Amino acid sequence: MRPVSVLARSYRSAPFWNLSVTSRTFASTSPKRAKTANDVATEISKTRNIGIIAHIDAGKTTTTERMLYYSGHTRRIGNVDDGSTVTDFLPTERARGVTIQSAAISFHWPPIPSETQEVQSTKTSDLVPHNINLIDTPGHADFTFEVLRSLRILDGAVCILDGVAGVEAQTEKVWYQAAKYNIPKIVYINKLDRDGAAFGETVKQIASRLHTWPAVCQVPWWEGGKGQFIGVGDAIGLRAIRWAVGGDGKSLEVIPIDKLPHTEAAFEEEIKKARRALVELLSENDELMVEKYLEAEEDHLAIRSEDVIASLRRSVLNPQSNIVPIFAGASFRNMGVQPLLDAVVQLLPSPSEAPDPELNLGGVEGTISSLISGKMLSATGSSQLKAAKFRKPITAPVQNLEACALAFKVVHDSRRGALVYVRVYSGSIRRQSVLFNTNLQVSERAPQLLKMYASESVQIDAIPAGQVAVIPGLKHARTGDTLISYAGGNSRSGPPAPLNTLQLRPIEVPPAVFFSSVEPHSLGEEKNVRTSLDILTREDPSLQVTEDEESGQTLLSGMGEFHLEIATDRLVNDMKAKASMGKIEIAYRESILQSSQPDIYAFDKEQGGKQGRASCLVTVEPLSEEFAPPKLDEFGYSAYEDGNRVTINISSPADPGDLEPWDGELPSQLSIPFIHSALKNGALTALSRGINYPFQLHNTHVFLSLDPRKHIFGGETTPAALSSAARLATKTALKATALEHGSALMELVMNVTVSVDEASLGAVVNDISSTRGGHIMSLDDAGVTSGPTVNATSNDLPRIDISKVYAPPDPFGPSQSQQQGIASDSIRQRNITARVPLKEMVGYLKHLRSLTGGRGTFVMSPDKFERVVGQREKVLLKEIRGF
Ligand SMILES: Nc1nc2c(ncn2[C@@H]2O[C@H](COP(=O)(O)OP(=O)(O)OP(=O)(O)O)[C@@H](O)[C@H]2O)c(=O)[nH]1
């Protein structure tokens, strides 16, 4: 394993997000420039919120550097290999403490003329300037949750492929994740200057492995057919673009195909072939293209390029068409990036064209437009109205909703504190507006608003819908929180229900299965370490900090070894927390085997100087896979969180003969949502540690009932008292059943796909099934240049008939042998899919490399927790207990 600091540095410097924003440039914003930029920035039709998705090393940083350079936002092209990208940490900047990690960066394409005249020479189109917000998507598998989180705020994506390696495992994974959110994509096949570059083969892999129709918009231009890579043939504009070899890419020549030299006759023919294929493919999905084709008297080449672009755009924006435009280049050689930027503007959607973002309002699913139009509130309205008689009056005029935004990333800046990156979905966040955080149920003011450019940040007065910007100075907002601004809301409880529950694009946090203890060096350091841990979890909610009740240790949990190593590096090296980290270990789970008897728990104790009193009725039971969530009335609540379910029922009188019906009155400090949230939090705290083992409970259903006449005691029943009652009630019930009936140890089993060459197949299969106790599910032929296939997510997509896919021939590369069916064992790849306990996969990459001569690769994702029995249980328990 590489030392943590090296891993961490490569993770940080690989993406472009570490931008050095000097305090000088920060303060000295030119009003003229800011105004011009802002004019473009606020025009929604001229905005693109995009991300770059790619396998590690495909060229994301290299391409981004060029994007910033050609757009005029940087003055030099940095080089990844000598560490001179704008993205790298420079020691002096570090020392000044002004280096920040950026989650989104804005620039203009084409450049705004007044910003710099000089960059005009780089233009390959007549487009007007657009504001591009480029959003970070990390590449490492341990950061899958981060990827999902940033994907949900993208309106479009550029997927970069390495033209030699083709479609790789991580690309596949992110591709299907992007498909889940219906994100329109374009593909850029990079590194075409490298030996073995196989553009045509990669196009075919896009069809076979990504299950998408490739619309080849450019073909690579290898000089004379077999020479060096010098440019691209543009099938849309029927022209060729040639870059000066060895230049910075600004010097380029646009040549109509009929003006190409005779030596390039084959290249000219290929561009025409690509145009015909493109028109054919588009016509299958787009009636208007068929009309244009007929108007052009069935001459594919006579259709105007604007009409081809318009048809492509319609297809890209229509998820049903399943078409992806393909572009070509070699970013490192400064070739291909300007037309790619043109394509971003021409083909990817503006925020208003992107799919309507989903949201959840008091447990009801909907979209932003259904909320704004008032439809959602009327749908939830019936229960709200019924509920109204039991609570304070509910009025939630949606027209008072001034802004609704998602905090998609929190980055800690040593000088300015937390920088919260937000994407606004409706309305507009104004400077000084009060934002209500619906996840934390707190309000805070936005003191400043900033737009981040490559080398400077600009103060702005408002962030309108569709835009991405930064709010510095928020004390609470975490990555993933929903922030709303509501006119006339209560400063403490925020807007009226159900708007105070609004959640934008909620995503489930995956299980944190690796953990490590954090030991402050001295008692005096405890507070600092705790503050640093709080910053870490604010930035990344897939990290969790818990206290082990028995040992009193602080534990940091994450999704993978690498995830925790990075967190450790941030904590110790960046935040200078004086703490030692324990060994990285695997977290198991505990599950109860039988239901507990219903039991009433009464809490009656002083809390924070005040008497707290509350009761509730509790039952805990094992949660089966077939369990269907109960039907609930307006007083009920049920949520599945982190492998367990909590169901709450606030009852009307159960025994009317005995007592008068409840009149619906609640003490002023309570409301139905407050009761739900307090009881749920109490139950979840109790589930966070097992009874027989030191791991959290899994597959457990906690059922809490509360009868306000019996269990609420006026002003003494505070939310804190309710929470304590629920926690202690759950704990008592868990203990009762675990002691009487025992409990089970559960371990996480992973879905693993390993890609190896035929020659190593036997050894790898044997290792998985005998040494690691895995179950082999299938052995597939993966094709010649491909890596592991992520079958689980691609099953829903239709298969593409490869014989119908247009791909230009490859003059070089291993694909020739494949085309001729002469793949040798050494390059023939096989995919092994298996289910293997996570514990057995720790450090697997190193082992796989040694079994396969360094060529094997694998991807894995959590499947589920399973009960451990027999000898394995004994062995694991011995390891866990240490005896
Ligand atoms: N020959 C060649 N090399 C390239 C090209 N683009 C990128 N590279 C090289 O590929 C390596 C990886 O490039 P990066 O830009 O760091 O790739 P990345 O996708 O950002 O990598 P991660 O951030 O680690 O995921 C570097 O050595 C680059 O110089 C290209 O067009 N041609």
Work out the percent of the chain whose per-residue pLDDT is above 90. 42
Cβ neighbors of 837 (< 8 A, separation 6 or more) are 747, 748, 749, 750, 772, 773, 774
Report the topology of domain 594-741. Answer: Ribosomal Protein S5; domain 2 (3.30.230)
3-state secondary structure 511-533: CCCEEEEEEECCHHHHHHHHHHH
Three-class DSSP category at 328:
strand
Segment 184-238, tens digit of pLDDT: 999 999 999 998 899 999 999 999 889 999 999 999 999 988 889 999 999 999 9
Q: Do 318 and 325 form a contact (C-beta atoms < 8 A)?
A: no
Determine whether the shortest distance from the Cβ of 50 to ligand 1 is under 6 A: no
How far is 596 from 599, CA to CA, in rounded Å? 8
Find, among 683, 664, 823, the residue nearest to 757 by Cα.
823
Determine whether the shortest distance from the Cβ of 190 to ligand 1 is under 6 A: yes
Determine whether the shortest distance from the Cβ of 711 to ligand 1 is under 6 A: no
Q: Which helix (H) or strand (E) holds 493?
A: none
Determine whether the shortest distance from the Cβ of 613 to ligand 1 is under 6 A: no
Determine whether the shortest distance from the Cβ of 174 to ligand 1 is under 6 A: no
Please choose from 7, 79, 80, 188 the residue to mutate so as to test ligand 1's pocket, defined by most ligand atoms within 8 A of CB: 80
Determine whether the shortest distance from the Cβ of 54 to ligand 1 is under 6 A: yes
Determine whether the shortest distance from the Cβ of 558 to ligand 1 is under 6 A: no
3-state secondary structure 354-411: CCCCEEEECCEEEEHHHHHCCHHHHHHHHHHHHHHCCCCCCCCCHHHEEEEEEEEEEE
Segment 237-272, tens digit of pLDDT: 999 999 999 999 998 999 999 999 999 999 999 999
DSSP H helical ranges for 166-253: 169-180, 199-210
pTM over 0.95: no
Cβ neighbors of 538 (< 8 A, separation 6 or more) are 410, 412, 418, 477, 478, 479
Find, among 112, 116, 60, 119, the residue nearest to 85 by Cα.
60
Mean predicted lDDT score pLDDT of the chain:
81
- Tell me, in angstroms, the distance from the centre of ligand 1 to residue 812's CA: 20
Lowest mean pLDDT among 22-26, 43-47, 543-547, 558-562: 22-26
What does the block give as tokens for 567? 């967190």
The correct CATH number of 747-800+823-881 out of 1.10.1740.10, 3.20.20.70, 3.30.70.240, 3.40.50.2000 is 3.30.70.240
Residue numbering of the annotated binding site: 54-61, 136-140, 190-193
- Tell me, in angstroms, the distance from the centre of ligand 1 to residue 309's CA: 29
pLDDT band of 156, cuts 50, 70, 90: very high
Q: Looking at the predicted structure, is the pLDDT value of residue 117 above 80?
A: no
The closest residue, in CA terms, to atom 25 on ligand 1 is: 56
- Tell me, in angstroms, the distance from the centre of ligand 1 to residue 191's CA: 8
Determine whether the shortest distance from the Cβ of 58 to ligand 1 is under 6 A: yes
C-alpha dist (Å) from residue 184 to 44, 178, 187: 17, 8, 10
Mean pLDDT confidence for 51-80: 83
Q: Which CATH architecture has domain 514-582?
A: 2-Layer Sandwich (3.30)
Please choose from 6, 10, 11, 57 the residue to mutate so as to test ligand 1's pocket, defined by most ligand atoms within 8 A of CB: 57
pLDDT, position 728? 96
Ligand 1 nearest atom to the CA of residue 140, by list position:
25
pLDDT, position 811? 87
Mean pLDDT confidence for 425-447: 92
pLDDT, position 78? 65
Cβ neighbors of 306 (< 8 A, separation 6 or more) are none
Ramachandran angles phi, psi of 285, nearest 5°? -115, -15
Find the distance separating the first CA and the last CA of the chain, reported in whole Å.
Answer: 28
H helix count then E strand count, the chain? 24, 40
What does the block give as tokens for 309? 């672009």
Residue numbering of the annotated binding site for GTP: 54-61, 136-140, 190-193
The closest residue, in CA terms, to atom 11 on ligand 1 is: 57
Please choose from 158, 332, 333 the residue to mutate so as to test ligand 1's pocket, defined by most ligand atoms within 8 A of CB: 332
User: What residues pair up with 756 in beta bridges, in sequence order?
Assistant: 830
Do 514-582 and 747-800+823-881 come out as alike in CATH topology?
Answer: yes
Segment 871-880, tens digit of pLDDT: 999 988 888 8
Segment 591-604, tens digit of pLDDT: 999 999 999 999 99
Segment 437-473, tens digit of pLDDT: 998 888 999 999 998 876 678 899 999 999 999 999 8
Q: Do 595 and 740 form a contact (C-beta atoms < 8 A)?
A: no
Q: Which CATH superfamily is domain 137-353 in?
A: P-loop containing nucleotide triphosphate hydrolases (3.40.50.300)
Q: Which CATH superfamily is domain 358-504 in?
A: Translation factors (2.40.30.10)
Determine whether the shortest distance from the Cβ of 61 to ligand 1 is under 6 A: yes
Number of other CB atoms surrounding residue 152 within 10 Å: 22
For the chain, give every domain's residue range.
137-353, 358-504, 514-582, 594-741, 747-800+823-881
- Tell me, in angstroms, the distance from the centre of ligand 1 to residue 757's CA: 25
